[in-house]
Structure 1
Amino acid sequence: MRSYGFVGTGELTAAIVEGLGADSPEVFLSPRNAKIAHDLAARFPSARVCGSNQEVLDRTTTVVIAVRPQIARDVLAELAFRPEHVVVSAVAAVSLAELRELTAPAERIVRSIPLPTASRRASRTAMYPDDSVARALFERVGDVVVPADEPTLATFSAATATFAAHLDQLATIAGWMAEHGVAPEDANGYLAHVFGELGRTLAGFDGTLGELARKHETPGGINEQFRTAVRDPARVRKTLDDVLARVKGQ
């Protein structure tokens, strides 16, 4: 089986390696974030921690770049790629054109947006362009969507910037419940259950998100009251536009 190398060993790399599981092909990990790297190597016999990022490239031809955007250019500039490398970037805001320059003479470059749910093989990874090697990797940890072009991929990336905001709102609600006498652990557990189940409903729903929202409120009801009070679509769209511009490097 084809082996995989990871330059950058953070939470995203950990999620993919966990999703690949015990039956994974060989996985070579960079020493960045030694704690996560050695934990993965201890849990999965197929995982090896390399002595350097360059060693990762030397040991495999499929390389996933999973470092923070702020350091990606410096990290890549120090590495010597080969023409046969397949470079799969999970770094936002670094374009295909720039990746081609930074990873030359590698010939196959893919941008991707794997999700943390890769850990349980439930990621829906957006990637561009389509590539058989990258597709094979991401189909091991979920499924794949290929946008029409690179600008559309950036829209997918901007949408993922909303994760923390949704979770933070739930944390605010849990804190409010605790202020009104609910034990914090009960508040967190209740909301995790309610919204976890809502996620399962969402995953199996064939209609639009707007239709599902309407199914969860009645005219004049408390769901409508809360939604109307906190909803600010113009602000959401403006913030998403700002994030999209950042992702595109504008």
Structure 2
Amino acid sequence: MYGFIGTGEITAAIVEGLGEAKPVFVSPRGRHVAQQLAERFEHVQVCASNQEVLDNATTVVLAVRPDIVQAVLGELHFRAEHVVISALAGVRLEQLRVWTAPAQVVRAIPLPQAARRQSLTVLYPDHAAARELFAQVGGVLTPSTEEALEVFSAATATFAAHLDYLTAIAAWMTEHGVEAGAATAYTAHIFGQLGQSLAQHTGPLAELTGKHMTPGGLNEQFLAELRADGLPEMVRRGLDKVLTRLDLNRG
């Protein structure tokens, strides 16, 4: 049986992806989302407290805000058979183990695509119960160190920037006379199709870049402009700052 402490977007995505696999117990935190899940899925039960979640489930996903996690966990009593899967960015295993003793602890980076069973979930350390859960909503990737998991976590900070880039393209089209709805639909279409190509590609990303431009062509020109303005270095600097923020939580 699965339990979820914290009921937000990630919890909703995982529960939706699981379907009717097993009974699911969700905490009252985020009651609106929890109630919606219970209404959609007969096997989902909203508990009266977080402790009730632990009393009914042995594999428990922790998905509360990092700034309140210590207070939330401080009120709970864990058993040795509990497997706590933390979906919290920047909260280290060492600290989680103190707060959840004597439970077993795993860190994970589940993605919203879990709702469609397409989340490539990063786990550390590898654990059979966690692997079983996330294999049902996509695939599993297990880095060799917790530090590597933090790098994956930093990479997820680029989602909003990518969408803002697409927003800028659609806005530019509108500024040049294209109707706003058409600009949005076209931008979403071409990058949605590009995403499918990306999902099917197994080689280096640079290979895919090369396939989408010809010497002297428009794609090559635009890429050269962005590189000349320092975009790759800007991306690296931004990611370095995110990783530094995550590293500040070490220990």
Q: Which residue of 2 aligns with 1:26?
A: 23
Between the aligned partners of 2:70 and 2:77, the Cα distance in structure 1 is 13
Q: Which residue of 1 aligns with 2:184?
A: 188
Secondary structure class of the residue paired with 2:106: strand
Matches within 5 A, 1:193-212: 193-212=189-208
* Deviation readout 1:157-178 (Å, 9 max, x if unpaired): 1111111110111111112222
Q: Which residue of 2 aligns with 1:234?
A: 233
Q: How far did 1:205 drift? A: 1.4
Between the aligned partners of 2:70 and 2:180, the Cα distance in structure 1 is 43
Q: Which residue of 2 aligns with 1:244?
A: 243
Aligned-partner residue type, residue 65 of structure 2: R
Task: State whether structure 2 residue 87 is matched by structure 1 residue 90.
Answer: yes
Secondary structure class of the residue paired with 1:5: strand
Equivalent of 2:8 in 4, 7, 10: 10
Between the aligned partners of 1:87 and 1:149, the Cα distance in structure 2 is 18
Between the aligned partners of 1:54 and 1:183, the Cα distance in structure 2 is 53
Q: Which residue of 1 aligns with 2:212?
A: 216
Between the aligned partners of 1:192 and 1:130, the Cα distance in structure 2 is 36
Secondary structure class of the residue paired with 2:213: coil
Q: Runs of 4+ in structure 1 displaced over 4 angstroms? A: none
Matches within 5 A, 1:165-184: 165-184=161-180
Aligned-partner residue type, residue 33 of structure 1: G
Between the aligned partners of 1:173 and 1:167, the Cα distance in structure 2 is 10
* Deviation readout 1:174-221 (Å, 9 max, x if unpaired): 122222222222222111111111111111112211111121112232
What stretches of structure 1 of length at least 5 have no aligned partner?
Answer: none
Give identity over the alignment, percent: 59
Between the aligned partners of 1:210 and 1:99, the Cα distance in structure 2 is 38
Count residues in correspondence.
246
Secondary structure class of the residue paired with 2:67: helix
Task: State whether structure 2 residue 35 is matched by structure 1 residue 38.
Answer: yes
Q: Which residue of 1 aligns with 2:63?
A: 66
Equivalent of 2:110 in 108, 111, 114: 114
Aligned-partner residue type, residue 54 of structure 1: Q
TM-score between the two structures when normalised by the length of structure 1:
0.94
Secondary structure class of the residue paired with 1:99: helix
Aligned-partner residue type, residue 97 of structure 1: E
Between the aligned partners of 1:168 and 1:159, the Cα distance in structure 2 is 16
TM-score between the two structures when normalised by the length of structure 2:
0.94
Between the aligned partners of 1:219 and 1:60, the Cα distance in structure 2 is 58
Q: How far did 1:155 drift? A: 0.8
Secondary structure class of the residue paired with 1:193: helix
* Deviation readout 1:6-64 (Å, 9 max, x if unpaired): 0111001011011001x220111111111111111111111111112121111111110
Task: State whether structure 2 residue 60 is matched by structure 1 residue 47.
Answer: no
Matches within 5 A, 1:144-183: 144-183=140-179
Q: Which residue of 1 aligns with 2:133?
A: 137
Q: Which moved more, 1:218-227 or 1:80-89?
A: 218-227
Secondary structure class of the residue paired with 2:78: coil
- Sort the Cα spacing of 1:73 and 1:226 in 2 relative to 1 into closer, same or farther, 3 A: farther
Between the aligned partners of 1:116 and 1:87, the Cα distance in structure 2 is 20
* Deviation readout 1:43-93 (Å, 9 max, x if unpaired): 111111111212111111111001122222222222221111100000011
Let me know the Cα RMSD of the aligned residues.
Answer: 1.2
What stretches of structure 2 of length at least 5 have no aligned partner?
Answer: none
Between the aligned partners of 2:65 and 2:215, the Cα distance in structure 1 is 45
Secondary structure class of the residue paired with 2:208: helix
